[in-house]
């Protein structure tokens, strides 16, 4: 399946509206030790590699070669993810900061907001595994991303593929 790309201006708008952090976010993440950054599967939305490559001023093919891997589904559908490995290629290990913070993948930006797909219904929820979920202020803040993310023209099938490989193939612990 080839997904219709989400237009670049929609990614830009999302980042302008939702910063993905509160005054406590970085402090909590640092204390947690960046658990979600280890062996993380950072999935890009359709059209997101074009958006991110544009922000970096490099070609999409160069962006792919430097930062991405491709997960190929049983039916040949391809899903782009940040290079698999111990740590994300955008994580600066000296500062613990994300080097693409202003234009990071939206799934990174909204986490601990995550989703499940059951009977083709997409349900958003806060991932209780993440330390940010323990702080009410953070929970409430990340829940504000639900209507914003739901408004993006993400192909419903894309959610199905991502929910499928996410729960089947990777052990985050």
Indicate whether 45 belongs to the interface with ligand SF4 (CB under 6 A): no
Distance CA 88, CA 21 (A): 19
Indicate whether 100 belongs to the interface with ligand SF4 (CB under 6 A): yes
142: three-class secondary structure by DSSP: helix
- Site track 1-40 with ligand SF4 (rule: CB under 6 A), x = hit: ---------------------------xx--x-xxxx--x
Q: Which of 4-12, 53-61, 99-107, 139-147 is the region at the interface with ligand SF4 (rule: CB under 6 A)?
A: 99-107
Distance CA 165, CA 172 (A): 13
Q: Give the count of alpha carbons within 13 A of 109, CB side only.
A: 25
Q: Is-contact 134 73, C-beta < 8 A?
A: no
Q: Which residues bind ligand SF4 (CB under 6 A)?
A: 28-29, 32, 34-37, 40, 42, 82, 88, 90-91, 98, 100, 104-105, 108, 111-112, 130-132
């Amino acid at each position: 399946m080839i997904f219709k790309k989400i237009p670049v201006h929609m990614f830009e708008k999302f980042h302008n509206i939702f910063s993905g952090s509160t005054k406590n976010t970085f402090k909590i993440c640092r204390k947690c030790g960046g658990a979600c950054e280890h062996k993380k599967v950072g999935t890009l939305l359709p059209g997101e590699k074009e958006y991110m490559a544009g922000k970096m001023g490099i070609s999409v093919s160069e962006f792919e070669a430097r930062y991405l891997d491709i997960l190929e589904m049983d039916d040949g559908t391809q899903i782009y993810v940040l290079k698999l490995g111990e740590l994300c290629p955008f994580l600066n290990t000296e500062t613990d900061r994300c080097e693409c913070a202003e234009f990071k993948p939206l799934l990174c930006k909204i986490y601990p907001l995550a989703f499940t797909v059951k009977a083709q219904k997409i349900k958003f929820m806060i991932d209780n595994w993440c330390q940010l979920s323990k702080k009410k202020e953070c929970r409430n803040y990340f829940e504000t991303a639900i209507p914003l993310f739901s408004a993006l023209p993400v192909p419903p099938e894309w959610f199905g593929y991502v929910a499928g490989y996410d729960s089947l193939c990777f052990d985050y612990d």
